[in-house]
Amino acid sequence: MKDDYLTGATLTELSSALAAKKISSVELIKAYLNRIAAVNQTLNAFITVDPAQSLAQARAADARIARGELGPLTGIPIAHKDIFVARGWPSTCGSQMLANFVGPYDAHVIDRFNAAGAVNLGKTNMDEFAMGSTSESSWYGPVRNPWHTDHVAGGSSGGSAVAVAASLAPAATGSDTGGSVRQPAALTGTCGLKPTYGVVSRYGMVAYASSLDQGGPFACSAADLAVMMNVMAGFDARDSTSLDRPPEDYSRSLGAPVATATAKQPLAGLRIGIAREHFGPGLDADVEAAIRAALDALTALGARLVDISLPTSPMSVPAYYVIAPAEASSNLSRFDGVRYGYRAPEYTDLRDMYCKTRAQGFGPEVKRRILIGTYVLSHGYYDAYYLKAQKVRRLIADDFTQAFKACDVIASPAAPTVACRLGAMTADPVQMYLNDIYTVPANLAGLPAMSIPCGFGNRGLPVGLHVVGNYFSEAQMLGVAHQFQGVTDWHRKKPEEVA
Amino acid sequence: MMPLDLEVVRRIAMLARIEISDAEAIATRDQLNGILNMIESMRALNTEGIEPMAHAQDVVLRLRDDRVSETDQHEVFQSIAPQVEGSLYLVPKVIE
């Protein structure tokens, strides 16, 4: 069977095809597995595919469909970032440390997809322990951007972004600590959402920086992100930071994201905050041009641009690179070669076993962040670095509180440049960190944020429009994006087939 | 702040339980100093009287009922451990 129809297929289209019995879940899974087999050697988007397990789930889904139990994701393949533990699946987090780790249980997010009858299509490549912005620090080698295979995919959820961009999966999961869903979404021309902190359970999602980590979806459209969120979100008692809120339908505002919407002006009354700090030096001209054009499209839909200021935002990267490594140094102390994961083959005593295990099991970027975190938490430096960063974090969150008095959402670029060449950032970690400037503030404040495709920059590489909303405003943000996608077709653009 | 010297780098690596060679220590020192230099810029900001923010949501830790909620799965969990004997995790001898 030809599988062209999979290119850019939406979740709704696939679900309709399954409901109409035009295709079975088993056929659908086989078609995607064939696509993965054909191009994964080039793109390196997946660490693990397991046709036997995927097809077993697909057969179960077909049985459900035959019984008339068809939910929006029943029988549909979903790729999962390898940070989510899944029972019976290798869950490596892109690290040699967990290369032999086969999940003994399911993450809450995996539970939810299983309950919905979705099929696990495979585990996607990522920066080691989600630390990175280019998906090059994986022990399994770098992910490549399907728009230009000598360019990076962004990170850390680069594999999931590329899976969706190259139509190797209709949708995927990711995690976002400082931009790890939104930045790769921007750099690959896909849609990605980081929900409000606490909306998606972190149970079974390998911890990097617990006060910032949040799972989120990748898809081809805002409407599909809403479908994904309806499955992923929800209270989970096993995550102490999971928020106990009534379930919501994330699709509810797609048609009318603002109360004052009219038929001709679906965004009439929407106030889009434009922060002057976001359009200064460091922003590439090709990216800015695409963002300005997107803002024009939004104003044509009735939205009004409002000048705002986020004065502390330039300090968000320094604060982030204190807080995230500090939490990481604590979280990653669990990898000691005792209960699971890698253990060095030779050692003299217990301390030597720890030191060699961690020296060999972790890659350079992970070690760098553990060492930074250990330093900023060490005696004599705690106040100067960690406590200071927490105070800056408060100021950043207060900036947003102030800004949302004057606007409903805030729009900016998702990244200051299009995807760089492979290897261009690896020698200079600081340069890589500074490129997180647009995405990090939302994590520090715990706000929902998304990136949607809005054009192309240099070398025909995608540009993403970053949208930050107020707490729990995901449905409205998705509605704004959906209206934008009703009058533009950037989200439907697909890279040429990779050989 | 003073830039990190090799001795401090070695001490941090020891605290983090990461073995580090002399050559690695030199490269690490330079990279960490580059990162700390970037972080330094934050210290110019006046944060007097600002309450530190540890978390994005002001949530109170929940207490669950004091009932058994987990079943014994030690065989499953220990099946992926580096070294196990008689349901015990094995580590190098700590007490002579």
pLDDT tens per residue, range A211-261: 999 999 999 999 999 999 999 999 999 999 999 999 999 999 999 999 999
Contact A478, A226 (CB under 8 A): yes
- If one counts the domains in chain A, the total is 1
CA distance B70 to chain A (A): 11
Does B28 reside within a domain? yes
Does A17 reside within a domain? yes
Q: Which of B12, B59, B92 sits opposite A347 (nearest CB)?
A: B92
What the block records as the tokens of A207 is: 């911890």
Q: How confident is the model at residue B69 (pLDDT cuts 50, 70, 90)?
A: confident
Is A180 among the residues known to form the active site?
A: yes
A236: number of Cβ within 10 Å: 20
Q: Which of B4, B20, B41 sits opposite A359 (nearest CB)?
A: B20
Range of the domain at A76: 4-255
What are the E-state strand segments in chain B? Answer: 84-85, 88-89
Q: How many residues are listed for chain A in this entry?
A: 499
List phi, psi (to 5°) of A172: -155, 165
- Long-range Cβ contacts of A233-240 (<8 Å, 24+ apart): A233/A195, A233/A199, A233/A200, A234/A112, A234/A200, A234/A201, A235/A201, A236/A108, A236/A201, A236/A203, A237/B62, A237/B64, A238/A108, A238/A201, A238/A203, A239/A108, A239/A201, A239/A202, A239/A203, A240/B59, A240/B61, A240/B62
Confidence (pLDDT) at A499: 67
Chain B residues inside the 8 Å CB shell of A241: 55, 57, 59
Confidence (pLDDT) at A4: 73
Q: How confident is the model at residue B83 (pLDDT cuts 50, 70, 90)?
A: very high
Determine the Cα–Cα distance for residues B33 and A339; give it in Å rounded to an integer: 34
Contact status of A377 with chain B (Cβ, < 8 Å): no
Helical segments of A149-189, H only: 158-165, 182-188
CA distance A240 to chain B (A): 6
Confidence (pLDDT) at A422: 97
Q: Are the beta carbons of A389 and B40 separated by less than 8 Å?
A: no
What are the E-state strand segments in A114-239? Answer: 119-124, 144-145, 148-152, 171-176, 191-194, 214-219
Determine the Cα–Cα distance for residues A407 and A404; give it in Å rounded to an integer: 5
Does B91 reside within a domain? no
Determine the Cα–Cα distance for residues A234 and B31; give it in Å rounded to an integer: 41
pTM score, two decimals?
A: 0.97
Is A133 among the residues known to form the active site?
A: no
Contact status of A453 with chain B (Cβ, < 8 Å): no
Chain A residues inside the 8 Å CB shell of B31: 368, 429
pLDDT tens per residue, range A120-150: 999 999 999 999 999 999 999 999 999 999 9
What the block records as the tokens of A341 is: 């994961």
A234-238, B1-5, B64-68: which range is least confident on average?
Answer: B1-5
Contact status of A87 with chain B (Cβ, < 8 Å): no
Q: How confident is the model at residue B70 (pLDDT cuts 50, 70, 90)?
A: confident
Does B12 reside within a domain? yes
What the block records as the tokens of B39 is: 């972080």
Cis check for the bond before A156: say yes or no (omega within 30 of 0).
yes
Confidence (pLDDT) at A92: 98
Does A33 reside within a domain? yes
Does B40 reside within a domain? yes
Q: Hey, which residues does A205 pair with through a beta bridge?
A: A84
What are the E-state strand segments in A254-296? Answer: 271-275
In A454-483, the residues whose Cβ lies within 8 Å of chain B are: none
Does A382 reside within a domain? no
pLDDT tens per residue, range B4-62: 999 999 999 999 999 999 999 999 999 999 999 999 999 899 999 999 999 888 777 88
At residue B2, does pLDDT exceed 80? no
Q: Which of B57, B91, B92 sits opposite A243 (nearest CB)?
A: B57
Does A446 reside within a domain? no
Confidence (pLDDT) at A1: 44
- If one counts the domains in chain B, the total is 1
CA distance A198 to chain B (A): 8
Does A412 reside within a domain? no
Does A316 reside within a domain? no
Does A150 reside within a domain? yes
Does B65 reside within a domain? no
- Catalytic-labelled residue, pool A25, A81, A133, A473: A81
The domain that holds A197 is classified in CATH as 3.90.1300.10
Does B54 reside within a domain? no
Does A298 reside within a domain? no
Q: Which of A104, A371, A390 sits opposite B52 (nearest CB)?
A: A390
Range of the domain at B13: 6-44
The pLDDT profile of chain A, 499 residues, written as one tens digit per residue, is: 457 778 889 999 999 999 999 999 999 999 999 999 999 999 999 999 999 999 999 999 999 999 999 999 999 999 999 999 999 999 999 999 999 999 999 999 999 999 999 999 999 999 999 999 999 999 999 999 999 999 999 999 999 999 999 999 999 999 999 999 999 999 999 999 999 999 999 999 999 999 999 999 999 999 999 999 999 999 999 999 999 999 999 999 999 999 999 989 999 999 999 999 999 889 999 999 999 999 999 999 999 999 999 999 999 999 999 999 999 999 999 999 999 999 999 999 999 999 999 999 999 999 999 999 999 999 889 999 999 999 999 999 999 999 999 999 999 999 999 999 999 988 889 999 999 999 999 999 999 999 999 999 999 999 999 999 999 999 999 999 999 999 999 999 999 988 6
Does B16 reside within a domain? yes
Q: Are the beta carbons of A374 and B62 separated by less than 8 Å?
A: no
Confidence (pLDDT) at A282: 92
Helical segments of A67-133, H only: 108-115
Q: Hey, which residues does A465 pair with through a beta bridge?
A: A413, A452
Phi-psi region of A476 (alpha: psi -120 to 50; beta: other; left: phi over 0): alpha
Is A405 among the residues known to form the active site?
A: no
Confidence (pLDDT) at A2: 55
Q: Are the beta carbons of A394 and B50 separated by less than 8 Å?
A: yes
Does B37 reside within a domain? yes
Counting one residue from A and one from B, how many pairs have CB atoms under 8 Å apart? 168
